[in-house]
Chains A and B, each alone.
Chain A
Amino acid sequence: MKIKDYKVDGYNIHVLKTDKFKQTKILVEFVSYDNVKSLYFAPLLINILKRTSSQYNSLNQKNLALYKLYAPSCSVNYNIAGSYLCFGLNLTFLNEKYTEKGMNEKTIDFAFNILFDPKIENKSFDEKTLEIIKEEIIHELESKKENPRSYIGTYLSENLPISKYKLPSLKETIAQIKNIDGQTLYKYYQYLLKKSRLEIFITGDVSEDIISQITSRIPYKPKTVDISSPYIIQTKRPKLKVIKEKIPDNQSLLNIGLVGLNLNYFESNYVLRIYSSILGGGTESLLNKEAREEKSLCYSISTARCDFNSTIRIFSAFDKENYNQMIEIINRKLEDMRQGNFEDNLIDEYKQSYIASFYDSEDFIGVCTEDMKGEVLYGDVPNREKIKNMRKVTKEDVVALARKIHIATIIYLEGERKND
């Protein structure tokens, strides 16, 4: 499938025309550099855009309009990709061939209205709704320790030495959120719209008409904004940070953050994937084989990697008596990776696995749209190039990368009420 690019005044529209899907997907992405403000403002913004509208007096009315359009999946959201903050619209709807004539246009109008035409009075979002959202978010922050499985993930993020800015304390975050009112939130929204780079991605069986329809729904003239790569290269070897806390649960939870130093694009996009998979990416991985299959210490032990900042997280849950044994296994497996003590066939198998995922990405409308976004925003290459690059990864590459990987942070939440 080939991407067709349309340059519009101040932004671009990228179209992947295909009749493989009965749906059409549209991503509207406002891309800017992430900063500490997004921690306070972005969750409030996406919630208020979801709940209020200039055209509908209640959430019920808005939902009724949505249902009459065959309930497209339509959300305003944000995510952090390396140094980028991506804010925008994610819309997926059934092509009108399978519903009713005119539905495509009406659906796009509905979705763009949510993003560009919120309920604003006196340059302010609705204060009453904002207060409810603030209260909900503050409660979530204050009670986050009650859900240790999600808490440990954010706790690790807060303690990995990779942040682009100094992370505020919980108290500071709550104080900042409390201070936000309808007007300051509106200013932030305007800032995101006007100071970001705008890119729009469309996948589906669409005609050229869709371009003019979309351009007519952008209510202002965006600025062309240059933005450099989102990749953050880690250069300093981190000092090990170990945090241990007690939780009332049965199981103890462990989350370890690894950082790769001075990884180039090939390493962070291809070699790191293979490294992470061999270490903890499935049933045949080194960690799973020993900790689960040989020693029955846990139900799962797995790795997750972030290419943008060259980090890997190891996560597991187990009985507290087994903490030392688990740490010993992890350290030993990291050393095995450095020494190349793993079966050669694992490299080929995991390479094959990634090649298969690049090969079949066209089966999924979400994946091929994200691939298109990757090419435009992150400098990714097309999938056929990714397959070629993945084939080039050797055992020597993996071992060399393993020697650049260091444990930065260990978070351990010890379950006190064993087998309660």
Chain B
Amino acid sequence: MIKKKYKKLNNTMYEEVLENGLRIYICPLKRKNIYAEMNVLYGAKNISFKKEEDQEFIKTYTGTAHFLEHLIYTPDGDFNPAKIYNKNAASNNAYTNKNLTTYYFYGPLNFEENLNTLLRSVNSLNITEKDVDKERGIIKQELLKYADNKSFIAETKALENAIVEDSYRYDTGGRIEDLEKIDLQMIKTCFEYFYRPDNMFLIIAGNVNPQKVIVQVKEFYQNKKFPKFKVIRKKYNEPAKVLKEKEIIHKDTSNNYISITYKIKKPKIDEYLLRVYLNAILRLKFGPLTKIYNSTYQDSNYVSDIDYGVTLIDDYALICFDVIVRNNPEKTIDLIDDTLKHAEINEDYIEIYKKLMIKTIILDFESPDRVASLIENDCLRYNHPIYDIYDKIKSLDVLDYQNFTKTLDFSNRNYVIVGKK
């Protein structure tokens, strides 16, 4: 076990890699609670994959990773994870995103039993056709819930229209028509390929003894054997242009739900810096210190604030905007475009932005779930936690940032409006 320090933040992490490849990160905190999550590097975008030695890719349907997530806590004889967590007063749940499936519990009592329950749940799958069919009905209702949400329709359609080939374009839940085609065999294959210790990482934060945890996890895996093969995930040759530049969807509504996606070829700089710089651009051009933010509170045409975010996929950065307005959606789209391309950034604000980033990191270590989320994101994005994050933020250079902004091309974008008939 290696002890690591978060520089200048006065927090410690313990790292271990087991012989079977499972990575473990433990962050003790002075709290009564413990949060633990097991992350499987398998998400909604992994719809095509194969063993290294195979010629053909196995093709699955959209939403398969999410479907499998629903089945992991299925009772197996006397082993019923929901009952155990309930008995131990722990909350538990799971979520799937494009790259990852995560299972977690949170509770102050009976940690050892909770952890064993989590480990057992993600390392064995004993389900039948009946279980799959039963869960299909539940998932269908979950998807229908989103299918009625106009903001969700605009966001998912904008992503689908921005990406041509990459499976990142599909919503995590998948298409309702695909839901009917996912079967027991497909679920079992995905479990076999991805639910293996060398494709997982475990994060624990809170009132925990790292040495004891490592002993317990090692004991759990002691006599368990896993097949050894390398999984190749399909790579896509994603073209630079968006698939469709504009789409208008009519619904019964008095508002217009707008989603805009800019697709930018990734500049060749460090991935961490790229993420920080792009987020800084958005915050400093659209955040609470800007003219456009002020205008949304002075004009009753705006039903919501302008939300923004950055996503990085293989060769591209996607910058997404979501906003709801009553009238003239195109005018708002033009305003956002003009602001993104031409708004000047006050250099003094960059130092303020750095202060806020440091504050956020300090607060992350206030609660076990936030620490876990920080580690999860770092591991997913950079393959390891960033221990010198404080110095990294402090050393951000205004000049480098200015030079970076000049390299960006915002000409390639699409938008979707879900609006009145």
A356 lies within 8 A of B293 (CB): no
- B residues near A51, Cβ cutoff 8 Å: 297
Complex CA–CA separation, A136 to B305 (angstroms): 13
For residue B275, CB closer than 8 A to chain A, the reply is no
With contacts A23-B366, A135-B300 known, is A146 near B255, CB below 8 A? yes
Taking a contact as CB atoms under 8 Å apart, the answer to whether A146 and B33 are in contact is no
- Residue pair A248, B89 in contact (C-beta under 8 Å): no
A283 contacts partner chain B, Cβ-Cβ < 8 Å: yes
CB-based contact B89/A355 at 8 Å: yes
Chain B neighbourhood of A129, CB < 8 A: 298
Number of residues on chain B facing chain A (CB within 8 A): 53
Answer yes or no: A99 CB below 8 A from chain B CBs: yes
In chain A, what residue has the closest Cβ to B81? A283
Of the candidate stretches A61-69, A183-191, A302-310, the one touching chain B is A61-69
Chain A nearest CB: distance from B332 CB in Å?
16
Q: In whole angstroms, how far apart are the Cα atoms of A67 and B351 in the complex?
A: 11
* CB under 8 Å from chain A, chain B span 338-355: 349, 352, 355
Interface residue? B359 (CB, 8 A): yes
Interface: A220 (CB within 8 A) = no
Is B363 an interface position by the 8 A CB rule?
yes
Bound-state Cα–Cα, A136 to B355, Å: 34
Complex CA–CA separation, A23 to B363 (angstroms): 8
Contact partner, A317, options B87, B145, B297, Cβ 8 Å: B145
Residue of A nearest to B206 (CB): A363
On whether the beta carbons of B145 and A360 are closer than 8 Å, the reply is no
Q: Whose C-beta in chain B lies nearest to the C-beta of A248?
A: B252
Tell whether A299 pairs with B293 under 8 Å between CB atoms, given A67-B356, A356-B109.
no
Q: Is B374 an interface residue (CB 8 A)?
A: no
Verify if A170 is at the interface (C-beta below 8 Å from B).
Answer: no
- Chain A residues with CB below 8 A from B293, complex form: 59-60, 63
Q: Does B209 contact A (CB under 8 A)?
A: no
Q: Given contacts A139-B326, A419-B176, is CB(A67)–CB(B289) below 8 Å?
A: yes
Q: Bound state CA distance, A32 and B288, in angstroms?
A: 33
Contact across chains for B288 and A59 when beta carbons are under 8 A apart: yes
Say if the beta carbon of A298 comes within 8 Å of chain B.
yes
Distance (Å) between the CB of A299 and the closest chain B CB?
A: 4
Would you call A363 and B32 a contact (CB within 8 A)? yes
Question: Do A143 and B254 contact each other (CB < 8 Å), given the known contacts A23-B363, A132-B300?
Answer: yes
B289 and A60 contacting across the interface, CB-CB below 8 Å: yes
Q: What is the 8 Å Cβ interface bit string for chain B, positions 256-286, against chain A (1 contact, 0 not)?
A: 0000000000000000000000000000000
Query: Which residues of chain A are within 8 angstroms of B291 by Cβ–Cβ distance?
Result: 60
Q: Contacting chain A: which of B16-24, B55-63, B131-139, B157-165? A: B131-139
Chain A interface category by residue count: 35 or more
Residues A70 and B86 in contact, CB atoms below 8 Å apart: no
A71 contacts B359, C-beta separation under 8 Å? yes
Interface residues of B in 359-381 (CB under 8 A from A): 359, 362-363, 366-367
Contact A362 to B303, CB < 8 A, known contacts A21-B366, A353-B86: no
A200–B109 CA distance with the chains assembled, in angstroms: 33
Quote the shortest CB–CB distance from A420 to chain B (angstroms).
8
Taking a contact as CB atoms closer than 8 A, the residue among B30, B136, B289, B363 that contacts A94 in the complex is: B363
Q: How far is the CB of B93 from chain A (nearest CB, A)?
A: 9
Give chain A interface residues in 199-242, CB to chain B under 8 Å: none
In Å, the complex CA distance between A353 and B136 comes to: 30
Q: Contacts of B135 on A, CB cut-off 8 Å?
A: 296
Establish whether residues B108 and A360, one from each chain, have CB atoms under 8 Å apart when the complex forms. Answer: yes
Asked whether any CB of chain A lies closer than 8 Å to the CB of B82, the reply is yes
A248 to B149, CA, bound (A): 12
Q: Is B2 an interface residue (CB 8 A)?
A: no
> Can you spell out 8 A-B residue pairs with CB atoms less than 8 angstroms apart?
A140-B303, A143-B253, A296-B137, A317-B145, A318-B141, A352-B87, A356-B107, A359-B108
Residues of B within 8 A of A (CB): 30-33, 82-83, 86-90, 107-109, 134-139, 141-142, 144-145, 147-148, 176, 251-255, 288-291, 293-294, 297-300, 303, 326, 349, 352, 355-356, 359, 362-363, 366-367
Beyond the given A250-B144, A293-B134, please list 4 additional residue pairs across the A-B interface where CB-CB is below 8 A: A98-B362, A132-B298, A296-B137, A349-B87
